Amino acid sequence: MKKPVIAIDGFSSTGKSSISKIIAQKLDLVHLDTGALYRGVTWFALQNCCKEDGNVDLDDLFNNFHHIHLEFKNIENELVLFLNEINITKEIRSNQVTENVSNVAKQAKVREFLLDHQRKLAEKGGIIMDGRDIGTVVLPDADFKFFLTASIDERTKRRYQELLTLGIDANEDQVKQNLIERDKIDSEREVAPLKQADDAIVIDNTEMTKKETIEKILNYVENF
């Protein structure tokens, strides 16, 4: 029997990736963090395609797609992102990448570059994919679609704690402003904006623990 395809979209720091990872383990699915792919492209751009002022040269990035090889490798039952055979798991969570990823991700050529790769991974089923346009663009025929949201203050607290855990210096007010800016860019971009699919199940987990959020999603999926 074919395993389900699950799409989880939502705002930054609603727990999409960590929640998807646990659900994947419980249901024996492959988990794909699409946000990591966009962060990987952004990291490459910051290392190789910057102008003198430090901003990403988008045309240079587009011309260098053929030099970008992104691959998830299973290490101790966890999919880890590699860029050109280098583990960039920590690097893609840096403040510099966070500040630039929305601008890179909104580019039509970047999204097209990654779209086919994401769809091919889902063809055989048995995958849970999280991002911002999974249920609306990448996997519009997914068996289940969820959209996660939470208050800006709660998301700020989560993101701030995540950065500290990774050993990355952070300012809580700056984290909040960055989230607000990312929400605006992601929601207003012309190509594949962040939005709830018409048939998505909305879960506001402001007052919910990660465990409670996972249990709610599993209640919908377990009878597939």
pLDDT per residue as tens digits for the range 196-218: 999 999 999 999 999 999 999 99
User: How far apart are the C-alpha atoms of 38 and 29, rounded to whole Å?
Assistant: 22
Give 15-68 pLDDT, tens digit per residue.
Answer: 999 999 999 999 999 888 888 999 999 999 999 999 999 899 999 999 999 999
User: In the prediction, which pLDDT does 94 show?
Assistant: 92
User: In the prediction, which pLDDT does 111 show?
Assistant: 92
User: How far apart are the C-alpha atoms of 40 and 101, rounded to whole Å?
Assistant: 9
Parse the chain into domains and list their residue ranges: 5-214
Stated pTM of the model: 0.79
Fold designation for 5-214:
Rossmann fold (3.40.50)
User: In the prediction, which pLDDT does 51 show?
Assistant: 93
Give 156-192 pLDDT, tens digit per residue.
Answer: 999 999 999 989 889 999 999 999 999 999 999 888 8
Burial readout 203-219 (b: 16 or more C-beta within 10 A, e: otherwise): bebeebeeeebbeebee
Other residues' Cβ atoms within 10 Å of the Cβ of residue 119: 13
Give 56-112 pLDDT, tens digit per residue.
Answer: 999 999 999 999 999 888 787 677 899 999 999 999 999 899 999 999 999 999 999
- Decide the pairing of beta strands 5-10 and 144-149: parallel
Q: Where are the beta strands (DSSP E) in the chain?
A: 5-10, 30-33, 70-75, 78-83, 86-87, 127-131, 144-149, 201-204
User: In the prediction, which pLDDT does 1 show?
Assistant: 64
